[in-house]
A and B are shown apart, each in its own frame.
Chain A
Amino acid sequence: MSEHIEFEEEEFNTRFSGQTIRRLASLLRPYALWVIGFLSMVMMVSGLDSYFTYLSKRMVDEGISAGNWGMLLQIVEQYAALILIQAVAVFGFIWLAGILGERIRYDLRQTLFNHLQELSLTYYNRTPVGWIISRVTSDTDRVAELVTWGLLDVTWSSFNIITALFFMWQISWQLTLIVMVIVPIIIVVATFFQKRIIVQYREVRKVNSKITGAYNETITGVRVIKALDREEANLREFGKLTGEMYQAGYRAAWYSALFLPTVQLISAVAIVSIVTYAGVTVNNNGLSVGGMYAFISYVLFMVWPVQEMARVFAEMQQAVASGERIFSLIDAVPDIVDKPGAYDVDHLRGDIVFEHVDFQYEEGKPILCDFNLHVRHGETIALVGPTGGGKSTIVNLLCRFFEPTGGRIMLSGHDYTDLTQHAIQSRIGMVLQTPHLFSGTIRENIRYGRLEASDQEVEEAAKLAGAHAFIEKLEKGYEEQVGEGGVLLSTGQKQLLSLARAVLAKPDIFIMDEATASVDTLTEALIQQGMDTLMKECTSFVIAHRLSTIRNATRILVIEDGRIKEMGTHRELLKLGGHYHRLYTQQFRQEVVTQVDELATLLADIDMSAVEDASAPPADGRTNGKVTVDLAFAD
């Protein structure tokens, strides 16, 4: 819990770190030509915007005021041609900057994703998944926006102001000097507002996530709320949240609403100065009508580039923070890397030896101390003991998801840190407590165990694992979609599929973390069958919860507080009358409960089918189920 606090979202106290900015810039290096391309196009567009106003001035002064129709036409022709050129440039910069943005998004995401595949479980244990997802999605978006559109907007804005000042200077340098006073004022005001607006929107997002949380909790807990008759109190509490939201939203809108009029008011002062100047100098060849018109247009327009710049600079702080977080992810070093000269082996069908293994996730909090274990090939080891006692740690060490901090682990006579990770992990079959499936078809999920397996082999594995029967009954059989994370299947079915996946992988070492959630008796019998198939071929480690598994293991390890408290066969351990004895009785009683429910359901079903069709024998599945139950009882 405390570890997660440092990952709280939205910390913006970051100062601009030069290094991060340099690194952000380096993202663009491979695309230097693209950048030059879109920047030059946007400068052209921006410069033309300013020039158009100047042309309008010339139309007024040299064409219309002078009554020179030919001159007017000439200027209009030039203007029209430039409009076409500008349109081409607009197309160019949208296309170039946009594509570049998409490319950078693509590159960053792929880099991050690939890097994530290399990182060790230690990283995943201390980093919430949600945090990583934000890095890969929203942070890459922000960075890509900054280095393309952000850069583009700033270039457009600054170039627009510079060119506008240049043309104004051509018309009247005295007046330009006066107007130039307001530019910094507008910049300061704009920055002031943008900062506040961003702070307010952050507040809105914060309250919004609270509101979403409240909705979520109310919907998932609605039955309790009704049972406790809590609706009115809840509504009062929620009313406070919506009040906060109203305030935050209104404040944000208030600042936004005030921003534009304020800036316009400042430019109005500039316009008044222009008019005054024009009025005062009208008698001694001062500002022409076209000149005044151009000045007013420039000042009115100047609001936009300034606003854009203020916006980009305000957002830049966030984007740089995003960049920093992305780089911190990229810079995270995997804890486990193959040694130079690490090698592969033909198989790992040999003994597994833990020699004086120490392990700790955190300095000073040892999980395993001087752990010793020698497992002969083909043995089935059941790991039992309380949660947090160290069962999973042993399995994780065996898979080399973590490496021992002291001692060593030998696989078939090799110190496993001398082998490549691939050598070890490609020979392990694993079934997790909460089986994880990937969206896609059933066939794709089983094939995950061995990518080059033929359709026939996939089905063979499913049969061995006892999954074939239920797959056949599905409408599309092996081509049925499992849904995201396998939501369309039951827990039992997911477990059968992950067993089939492990069977297909033909592992040398099989690891299973048994589910604590109860599945129906029939499925459980099938799971048992699948496990037996695998255990025959492999050396197996099972984090066991079911009595039958525990009883059938060649050895049982009772793990508590990071140590082997007791080790032996079922009978030996019972005789000891210690930890195992206690755990076993407890587990037994738990199983009795599920069996009573199960039995009641079964008996009811049998009664029902007897009523419905007295002559017909009970349906297949039911008979199987009953046999299993009876077997379990007789066991």
Chain B
Amino acid sequence: MLNSTAQPITQPELDLKETIGAGKLRGFWKLMTGFRGKYLVSTVSMGVAAIMNTVTFLLLAAFVDHFMVGGDRTIPLAVYVAGFLGLAIVQAGATFNSRRLAAKTAEGIARRIREYIYDHIQRLSFTYHDKTQTGELIQRATSDIDTIRRFFADQAIEAGRIVMLFVVNFIAIYLLDWRLAWFSVIIVPIVMVISLFFFRRVEKAYEAYQTQEAKLSSTLQENLSGVRVVKAFARQEYEENKFDVENKEKYRRGRHLLLMHALFWPITDIMCAGQMLGGFLFAGWLTITGEITLGTYVAYAGLVVWIIWPLRNLGRLIVQMSESLVSFGRISEVVKEEREPVLEGSVRTDQPVKGEIIFEDVHFAYAGTDRSALHGVSFRVQPGQSVALIGGTGSGKSSLVNLLPRFYEYTSGRILLDGVELKEYPRHYLRRQIGIVEQEPFLFSRTVRDNITYGVTRAVPDDEVEAAARAAAIHEVILNKLPQGYDTLVGERGITLSGGQKQRVAIARTLLKDPRILILDDSTSAVDFETEAEIRQALRTLMQGRTTFIIAHRIQSVMDADLILVLEHGRIVQRGAHQELVEQDGIYRRIYLAQTRLEAELEEELSRV
């Protein structure tokens, strides 16, 4: 039975976006799409279990009245025994079934939200990711989803069970004797109110306790990561006192939390136990005066327990459930954000682009700012040509290249790719045509091989991977320097590659992707001469036959470019080939001269000694 769950669940497609507009409670209802049947069966099973439990006591009453006290043996003992056993089996089966289906529902819903949020996150725009903190987003994707899972798996079911127990047993007692029924629930509203009040406050106190725990951990974390500073200044004692202050505060908050528990439980104990005892006394009086039978008394004593005690937990469940609503709200906020429509655009082709690019008076400002990052930029590149962008921080170099894969949308003007406006190309298609090698490329925590093939969806044979690595001048490093060669795990959980090595892996990755348009960030990190020469060679291989944009940091790398654009505050202030620009008076010449002077200085210094 358990193994049947090994198959992945087949889920009905559900766009979470639809559930979001619906208001929280209706939102929960919509989340259950596709699972409502299961959940209904789960609820019904739970009801069946509650009824079986009650019937057991009623059967006991009959047994006492007829078999034991009345001496009426028309129904043989075996029948009673079979009845008890049968009821127990049905009850056990129903309980199991209810829990099992609730878990299936909860896990299924959680899985669906997890996948949706994951996909959603990777399809949200750059603008969204620019303004959102990683930790915050992860929190929503993990613990908030888990809160919702618990809502369906435990809380809703448990709350339902308590309510159902109450209703079923109340009706049963009512049928035994209506006075007893009403008498037994006097305390109920009071206990409910107290427990609701109590758990709200406990929730707050618990949060305060947890906050302090987090503070204590971060004090510890700070101390551990700054251990050299602590030792260098011989501040051990100071640190111990600092930790002690936080530690004491946590103790204090823990005590506050405890005090509330230490008061709540005995007080409600007295109330519930008192109510029960009162019920016993009342029912006892009714029995002695002959209004009810002894069997009825026994049944009543058994049933009343199920009305009173579970109620104390209802307060806790209600408070927890209201928290799930908060989590739902936090997830909704993410879901509400618009995805990038990656398929939108009128161009429908599988052919690669040629790579002619024309900028016509392009303006661009980042969302939420009024300062424009690009200001009337116009230029033209032929297929296969290279454009070098040079300029300081904030000059608009990155903004310009970020427009090409449509990471951001330009605000006015036109960008034409092969004569067609860029906005007509689906992002999905466009991004397949463009390769990017960043300054400090991001590698994923998987093997080197997987990182190299990360950009292509087809299965890549090993020799093709190695050919790409060889062209990127990283093959030797992988074979000789990495412990498991191509199967070495890199990134967060693996080994750390140097900046130059990462860059070459990224070059290999881009070579395999084989894009028509290339964007390079040309700052080689501190690497030695030979490596740098190798990287340059690899880049040259990569650039062959592709329209290339180079974000340049030194004159050497722009000298060969077909077109150099000098950017200042989002405007092109100079353009042309190296030779033309050197001859003009302007910023390019000043940079060129400064650099030449620096290098001449070095030469001189080296020759002087």
Contacts and interface: CB of A to CB of B under 8 A. Distances in A.
Interface stretch (B200-208, B414-422, B586-594): B586-594
B266 A215 contact: no
28 contacts: A56-B301, A59-B280, A60-B301, A69-B288, A73-B281, A110-B240, A110-B244, A132-B224, A215-B137, A217-B491, A221-B444, A226-B126, A246-B5, A251-B5, A254-B100, A264-B95, A271-B84, A293-B298, A430-B228, A436-B229, A448-B229, A448-B233, A516-B526, A587-B526, A600-B591, A601-B394, A604-B569, A605-B392
B242 to A, nearest CB: 8
B198 interface: no
A254 B103 contact: yes
B277 A90 contact: no
B141 to A, nearest CB: 5
A1 B606 contact: no
A95 B258 contact: yes
A282 B73 CA distance: 11
Contacts of A256: 99
Interface stretch (A77-85, A181-189, A360-368): A77-85
Interface in A414-465: 421-422, 425-426, 428-430, 432, 436, 438-439, 448-449, 451
B547 to A, nearest CB: 16
Contact of A222 (B121, B218, B244, B301): B121
Given A76-B277, A633-B601, 12 more contacts: A60-B297, A72-B288, A76-B284, A83-B270, A88-B266, A94-B262, A102-B255, A106-B251, A235-B119, A425-B233, A438-B222, A588-B598
| 8 nearest CB pairs, A to B | A601-B392, A257-B99, A253-B103, A268-B88, A261-B92, A600-B392, A87-B266, A98-B258
Contact of B67 (A88, A279, A595): A279
Nearest to A88: B266
Contact of B231 (A105, A121, A242): A121
A429 B115 CA distance: 51
Residue of B111, B124, B149 ringed by the most chain A CB atoms within 10 A: B111
A262 B392 contact: no
Interface in B203-236: 213, 216-218, 220-236
Given A59-B284, A268-B84, A110 B297 contact: no
Chain B interface, DSSP helix/strand/loop, else mixed = helix
B395 interface: yes
A231 B521 CA distance: 24
A554 interface: no
A4 B105 CA distance: 39
A247 B108 CA distance: 10
Interface in A286-317: 289, 292-293, 296-297
Contacts of B270: 83-84, 87
Contacts of A296: 60, 302
A564 B457 CA distance: 51
Contacts of A275: 60, 63, 77, 80-81, 84
Interface stretch (B27-35, B319-327, B380-388, B426-434): B426-434
A430 B229 contact: yes
A216 interface: yes
Given A254-B100, A279-B77, A600 B432 contact: no
B138 A216 contact: yes
B231 A243 contact: no
Interface stretch (A26-34, A150-158, A206-214, A522-530): A206-214
B256 to A, nearest CB: 10
Nearest to B225: A129
A582 to B, nearest CB: 8
A13 interface: no
Contacts of A271: 84, 88
Contacts of B269: 83, 86-87, 90
B339 to A, nearest CB: 10
B43 interface: no
B64 interface: yes
A142 to B, nearest CB: 14
Interface string A591-605: 011011111111111
Given A238-B118, A597-B393, A227 B280 contact: no
Nearest to A1: B495
B280 A137 contact: no
Interface string A246-260: 110111011011101
Contact of B285 (A69, A230, A260, A436): A69
Interface string A533-571: 000000000000000000000000000000000000001
B330 interface: no
Interface in B99-114: 99-100, 102-104, 106-108, 110-111, 114
Contact of B126 (A72, A223, A449, A600): A223
Contacts of B222: 438-439, 484-485
